[in-house]
Structure 1
């Protein structure tokens, strides 16, 4: 018997079995209404996994506000694009300094035209796992999906201009700028997010970054990476959470999370989390298999108590 079936209350098991038979009899057999059921199910999954790129509704603006309410914010915005994310953060008086990286020349010019706040430092370069240069596929009619990787995995038919751009690492940049601590590192690098985060290995290792926001999507697959690789990079020092519209959902790794659908994730430094931070960030434990994996990972840890995991993960 599977873990999920075993965890059901006895009265719920016959209902689940009946529902499974009804769905299988329609969907598997491709009977009338099968595709409609599939479409509804996909829409439910998209909502549950928060497949949303709108910063005003997917939780990004909410998270900026919560961090700003907690005190001064020092940030890096890697893949700043035209400045939407930094604009949202700079709307808060407690935003102290934001360093923005955008390697595509035309997009950087748009960023510079939009962002004239003295608290913002704009850098026309890419960040990666090691210094040097990167070959980028600049998308002329949709710069937001410019990527080191083949954009055909996301959307075909766009005019592409291959360009070489300078690259450095986050650790080098923090040293160059005299930054000893970041409240949040935001990464939106269209599949290169793991490489960017790896370039901050020193800062992550010494606990110099409180939160790391990153994306997982089709470009992650094109990069031959996975969400599991992020869990491995952040290790036991960070709690990996799905960003929700008004909260963070802490997860333990389970293969079901690696769907490569559009999603934003936030790794939170465990030492940063106390009862107030858990409340302020709307932090909760995931249900199902990711929740059970989290409960196992946090067994005996103070965070298990803060997240209410003493009796196991939520159903």
Structure 2
């Protein structure tokens, strides 16, 4: 089965490369291709559109930025591979996928790592802390260039609400494809079912899974609220999405061009985060009124208690995470004391 999957992945890579090469023929400008798995009205796409406009306003005589939403070029796993090879230039990747390239990314998958969204944002904006993480995948042919807010991850289910961790027992819950997320679900008491994001709607609809965990926009932008009618704010993770870039392309930019691109990467994060808050508000109203989704606010401490042992497990298994973890905790403590 693994050989078949590898062969199919190779075929997909070759097909995408041929298609993209054909699309680029006859162009004087260098086409920059960016892939992501969200809808066109999603904050991620809005941030990338701002990047497109910015780069073309500064370097439009040389570069043509093209954005491919909705997994048009394949799943996140496929597009990360395409970015590695240089068939495309940038892709938005989940933290869980990047964890398979360097386990330093495990740090963000730790449940209840951050005390609040403010703590989360302060850490992600700390360049000195984040830079070594972002450049850790250079050996694989790509590196992270900016982060995107993905809010808080919470459980949503089809048939019954999640009020306590006990309610997860026996339920098949989709998690992202990483060892730490599978272990987290085990500690919660549910049955972890890792799968790609694009498969979740059908899996919910057909009863392959009983629920999933993600932010509110999954209910509306990805229509999961058509099937899953209970959304519980247990707030177990705040995990960024990451925009990665092909290293050969990035290193081929002149110093002046790279400076402009760096400004563009900052702009993506700024615009995306500004759009995020408003999008979440609209998603909740839409999900509640038009999809009949019920929002539940359980006691978070009961969930937190179940999974905190994972912190020490991961730190013991991967000692290089300890300094990063300690600094994140220090930032959180400092912010609490400042209040």
TM range (shorter): under 0.3
More helix by share: 2
Structure (1 or 2) with the larger CA radius of gyration: 1
- TM-score relative to the length of structure 2: 0.24
More strand by share: 1
